[in-house]
Amino acid sequence: MTDSRLFSPLQLGPLRLANRIVIAPMCQYSAEDGNVGDWHLMHLGNLALSGAGLLIVEATGVTPEGRISPFCTGLWSDANETAFARVLTALRRHAPIALGIQLSHAGRKGSSSAPWTGIRQLTPAEGGWQPLAPSPLAGRPGEAPPAALDAAGLARIRDAFVAAARRADRLGFDLVELHAAHGYLLHQFLSPLSNQRGDAYGGSLANRMRFPLEVFDAVRAVWPAGKALGARLSATDWVEGGWTLDESVALTRELQARGADFVHVSSGGLDPRQQIVAEPGYQLPFAARIKAETGLPTIAVGLITDPHQAERVVAEGTADLVALARGILYDPRWPWHAAQALGARVSAPPQYWRCAPADAPHLFETP
């Protein structure tokens, strides 16, 4: 066995992870009234047995209109909490993986259809709703403009994040990730492309960061110190005049000062004019700079599918953890295969120990 850095443990704030592999949040568009169901039990159960160190549940709306679509998960009601409890009980019984949840408000990207039906804004007659945003600026051509949030609306959403975090704590989640990326509400406040307010929440960088930081502070106040809290960021909008990497470094410093344990570094998603050349590791420079300039633990994501590349990311200090999304949907046993390729060992349930390949008889960790 080799001394793989990818498969070494990590202390992420108060949370100890068995290895540096993270399963990123991935929307399934399969909930009913925000309630997770049998699909999520199967989907998350499969991923929980993957051998990764951390599984983060998909973007979960803190209010009904905070969902991306009518089919997205929520955590605003007792019914939502009860549905999650059923799934999490099964995961905890059979998988030692750390469990996180991404809390989100979709903002102007809400009231959308499921992607496999063609992404478009749904009308109220189709089960949609009036989206909310910092400013009444449509996200895509042809969409109706969202309603601009007033002070009461901001307070309501902030309090909804707090209530959802309390529910996540009761459910036993180990980690909360606030979604401030991919063009959703908190990112909409950050970017000058979507935030053109004239009050204390718009204009300067400090003003544009104000509401996301207020949400973070409010969640930090109720989220237990013994559990990890961080945020997902879009490091750049990839559009001239939009949110930048320099601003992401500044935001990370503010989050760090407020007790964040990590940032999960992605990019884009706000504006259809974005110009992205997606190739393996294309977002790694963003995570590397944020980590280098702040020292806050970073999760890197973005077409990192080769085990040796993932090993280099961690071994060279580019990022502290590597997250997989579509790649692990395609290969839910990616951590097993990575461990075999790197000469490492990985956790697996005893029911599967007999399946270790002949050239890696000690692949699985056993008592």
Instruction: Tell me whether residue 184 is one of the annotated catalytic residues.
Output: yes
Provide DSSP, 273-320: T------TTTTHHHHHHHHHHH---EEEESS---HHHHHHHHHTTS-S
Q: In 10 A of CB 42, how many CB atoms?
A: 12
Catalytic residue among 29, 184, 201, 330: 184
Q: Note whether residue 360 is domain-resident.
A: no
In a domain, 5, yes or no: no
In a domain, 362, yes or no: no
Whether residue 367 lies inside any domain: the answer is: no
Flag whether 338 is in a domain.
Answer: yes
- The answer to the question of residue 4 being in a domain is no
| Residue 182 counted as domain residue | yes
Domain containing residue 323: CATH number = 3.20.20.70
- The number of distinct structural domains making up the chain is 1
Range of the domain at 193: 10-355
pLDDT tens, the chain, 367 aa long: 579 999 999 999 999 999 999 999 999 999 999 999 999 999 999 999 999 999 999 999 999 999 999 999 999 999 999 999 999 999 999 999 999 999 999 999 999 999 999 889 999 999 999 999 999 999 989 899 999 999 999 999 999 999 999 999 999 999 999 999 999 999 999 999 999 999 999 999 999 999 999 999 999 999 999 999 999 999 999 999 999 999 999 999 999 999 999 999 999 999 999 988 888 889 999 999 999 999 999 999 999 999 999 999 999 999 999 999 999 999 999 999 999 999 999 999 999 999 999 999 999 987 5
The answer to whether residue 50 is domain-embedded is yes
